[in-house]
């Protein structure tokens, strides 16, 4: 079982991942919790280049660096975990690239999707939970965390609005569950569990 969490920065993915991970472990499942970018050692270096290195990154280069992180992540961590019967929970996956590099960065959505599908060797998740919130609200929530924004988080509200709109467009695919991120964490968790129950 392969489950990914998506949404723009500030919608509360980590809280939901924590809750689902605990639930699955307590029901006896072996869980591999991971993230993009940075789910592997190589990925951590790529993450640093993408988010914390000084200076600009050309948009196509940005798209390829996320794809490079992902290709290594799928091959060395996600596939082996699934092959040994574990549940994989990933904080972001290729839909992030379609929303952020394709729509928000205004590269071509289909081209970015094609690169990403090649990178993941067409390994699609069984379920993708999209936590949805208007960009301004998500940004306000992030502001309250008090942490220093990374390179992507320094983008304007319009950038995140384009990402959000693209996520909602993609969510027509049956593998998506869209949840209103304004609901309480417990309520969101219960909607996620109802859907997960149908998978296993
Ligand atoms: P994330 O780890 O979710 O951020 P944080 O640790 O601050 O919660 O993601 C890092 C940033 O990278 C986030 O702004 C979204 C962006 N991103 C893309 O633009 N494309 C991608 O393919 C991925 C996976 C992330």
Express each pLDDT in 183-196 by its tens digit: 999 999 999 999 99
Of all residues in the chain, the percent with pLDDT exceeding 90 is 94
What is the set of domains in the chain, with CATH numbers? 2-199 (3.40.50.300)
The HSE-up count of residue 134 (CA atoms within 13 Å, CB side) is 3
- To 5 degrees, how large is the angle CA 53–CA 7–CA 143? 60
Q: Which of 36, 64, 115 to mutate to test the pocket of ligand 1 (most atoms within 8 A of CB)?
A: 36
Closest CA to 3 of 62, 82, 97: 82
- What per-residue confidence (pLDDT) applies to 147? 80
Given this model, what pLDDT does residue 144 score?
72
What's residue 100's pLDDT? Answer: 98
pLDDT digits (tens, 9 = 90+) for 37-76: 999 999 999 999 999 998 999 999 999 999 999 999 999 9
CA of 37 to the centre of ligand 1 (A): 6
pLDDT at 80 over 80: yes
Return the number of other C-beta atoms located less than 10 Å from residue 99's C-beta. Answer: 28
pLDDT-derived band at 148 (thresholds 50, 70, 90) equals confident
Alpha-carbon dihedral sign for residues 47, 53, 59, 65:
negative
Output the residue whose Cα is nearest ligand 1's atom 25.
Answer: 96
Q: What is the pLDDT of residue 112?
A: 98
Closest alpha carbon to 23 in 132, 182, 186, 175: 186
């Amino acid at each position: 079982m392969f489950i990914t969490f998506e949404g723009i920065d500030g919608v509360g993915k980590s809280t939901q991942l924590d809750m689902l991970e605990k639930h699955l472990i307590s029901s006896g499942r072996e869980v591999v919790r991971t993230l993009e970018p940075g789910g592997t050692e190589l990925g951590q270096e790529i993450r640093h280049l993408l988010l914390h290195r000084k200076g600009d990154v050309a948009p196509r280069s940005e798209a390829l660096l996320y794809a490079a992180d992902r290709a290594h992540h799928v091959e060395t961590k996600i596939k082996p975990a699934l092959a040994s019967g574990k549940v994989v929970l990933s904080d972001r996956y290729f839909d992030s690239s379609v929303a952020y590099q394709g729509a928000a960065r205004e590269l071509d959505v289909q081209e970015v999707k094609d690169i990403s599908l090649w990178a993941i060797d067409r390994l699609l998740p069984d379920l993708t939970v999209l936590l949805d919130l208007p960009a301004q609200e998500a940004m306000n929530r992030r502001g309250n965390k008090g942490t220093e924004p990374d390179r992507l988080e320094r983008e304007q509200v319009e950038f995140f609005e384009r990402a959000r709109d693209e996520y909602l467009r993609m969510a027509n695919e049956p593998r998506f569950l869209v949840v209103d991120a304004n609901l309480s964490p417990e309520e969101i968790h219960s909607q996620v569990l109802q859907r997960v129950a149908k998978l296993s």
